[in-house]
Structure 1
Amino acid sequence: MSILSVIKQVCPVIGLTVPDAVFSSTDREHAELQALANEMAQRIAFDGRDWTRLKVLATLTGDGIATGFNLPPDYKRMLKKARIWPSATPYSPLTHYPDSDTWLAMAVQNYQSLTGAWTMIGEQVHIKPVMPNLATASFFYISDLIIKAEDGTPKAEFTSDDDVFRLDERVLKLGMIWQWKANKGQAYAEDMVTYEDALAVASGNDKGSNILTVGTPRLPAGAECAFPGVITP
């Protein structure tokens, strides 16, 4: 469903005339809808769970010299529980040192972690010790390319009526409805609850099936297996 189709469903609920075009229009209300669509898309994509559709695997390759590696161009953030796994020691992830003073102290004291270490400085991932030539370090991150153009090319924001949201479009629609009403000073509490419920359901469904069976099935006391045939007199 294109963003124009989403907006066409939003407009009757918020009291606007259904438009034929939005992103090519200069009307004030259409400009507000453009900004709102992008804001809600960003919130849905980045403020909650780590959506599986936005996960991307990054692989850093050593050359025996470099200690800093540029982040991917579409990098938004790492997963909330991401680790960096080196090929040189595949059974031990690199130790994360988020504090810059601790990282600097390691450099000054010439201290090396047994399993290797990493931190982020600027727009780079820094790794110690130096990775050997062709050795790799891999981690998952969240991409900021949350929109698809009409031809399928991923992009960071809506710029055309034909663009498509990569995540749940119903959640986007409901989010735009409650936020528009809130922005205009209208009653929005019920609409916000509906949005939050839909977001929670979409988040729960995003991770896929998670069937867990432990031990043997529990049967009521005295229950017995049925005879798998037909008894005739």
Structure 2
Amino acid sequence: MTLLTVINEVADIVSLDRFDSVYGTNDPNAQTMVALAEEAGAEIARRADWKRMLTTHAVSASPELLPADYQRLAPGGAVRAADGHFFRPIANGAQWAVIVGIASAEPYCHLRGREMHFSPAAFAAGATIEYVSKNWVLGDPYEERDTFRADDDTTLFPEWLLKKGLIWRWKRQKGLSFEDNLAEFEADLLQEINADRGTS
């Protein structure tokens, strides 16, 4: 489903006329729908590590600047050395200072801002960082980004979740009862997250 399709299906449910176009139009209802779709999509994207949003980055040196679309490290062993061993992540800056001061054969990594640091630094070359991209919109032709820009944009997560998220947000914004729709959205979101992980 495209952004336009999702919004028109929601329009049917909330008793609005269908739209010929929603992105870039002056229609206040269309503008509201697009804004709410952005809000819903961003939330859905943040709440799971969707497989279609997982990506990798090849490391060349330490420190390594993370890609512009980096949102967070993938769950589990997110940083692998070229030989297949996993780097042990160190979150605490003080612990990192101790680790880099001691020669070690054990590979460690530390995320500081938008840079990934490695110890020993020689292990950085050829390492792979697995991460969740902040991009959840698929535009044409296959441009991944984190915002809608056209009526025919789609999402990298199940589009019908966008529809469910849009329905309760529209009702809430209009002062209507939305609690049942929100509960339905939450249940469906959990089900889709589990299906995406292969656990349902």
TM-score, normalised with respect to structure 1: 0.78
Structure 2 gap segments, 5+ residues each:
none
Asked if structure 2 preserves the Cα contact closer than 8 Å seen for 1:82 and 1:139, the reply is no
What one-letter code is carried by the residue in structure 2 that aligns with 1:152?
A: Y
Give the 3-state SS of the residue equivalent to 1:135 in structure 2. Answer: coil
User: Is residue 75 of structure 2 the alignment partner of residue 84 of structure 1?
Assistant: no
User: Is residue 192 of structure 2 the alignment partner of residue 188 of structure 1?
Assistant: no
Match of 2:169 in 1: 179
Match of 1:54 in 2: 53
Match of 2:92 in 1: 99
- Please list, as runs of the form range in 1=range in 2, the aligned pairs for 1:60-79 lying within 5 A after superposition: 60-62=59-61, 67-79=62-74
Aligned residues: percent identity?
Answer: 25
What one-letter code is carried by the residue in structure 2 that aligns with 1:54?
A: M
Task: Return the alpha-carbon distance in structure 2 between the equivalents of residues 79 and 204 of structure 1.
Answer: 16
Identify if the C-alpha distance between structure 1 residues 83 and 2 changes in structure 2 by more than 3 Å, giving closer, same or farther. closer
Task: Return the alpha-carbon distance in structure 2 between the equivalents of residues 31 and 195 of structure 1.
Answer: 22
Which residue among 98, 119, 122 is the counterpart of 2:110? 119
Bigger radius of gyration: 1
Greater than 3 Å deviation, 4+ residue runs: none
Structure ranking higher in helix proportion:
2
Give the 3-state SS of the residue equivalent to 1:77 in structure 2. Answer: strand
Deviation at 1:195, TM superposition (A): 1.1
Deviation at 1:144, TM superposition (A): 1.8
Give the 3-state SS of the residue equivalent to 2:109 in structure 1. Answer: strand
Cα deviation digits, residues 92-139 of structure 1 (max 9, x gap) = x222110112223444xx22444121111121101112226x832113
Cα deviation digits, residues 51-91 of structure 1 (max 9, x gap) = 111111222123xxxx2101022211112334311125x34
Asked if structure 2 preserves the Cα contact closer than 8 Å seen for 1:95 and 1:113, the reply is no
Task: Return the alpha-carbon distance in structure 1 between the equivalents of residues 108 and 179 of structure 2.
Answer: 47
Deviation at 1:151, TM superposition (A): 2.2
What is the Cα-based RMSD across aligned positions, in Å?
2.0
Structure 1 gap segments, 5+ residues each:
211-233
Task: Return the alpha-carbon distance in structure 2 between the equivalents of residues 15 and 61 of structure 1.
Answer: 55
What one-letter code is carried by the residue in structure 2 that aligns with 1:162?
A: D
Match of 1:160 in 2: 150
Task: Return the alpha-carbon distance in structure 1 between the equivalents of residues 14 and 122 of structure 2.
Answer: 56
Deviation at 1:209, TM superposition (A): 7.2
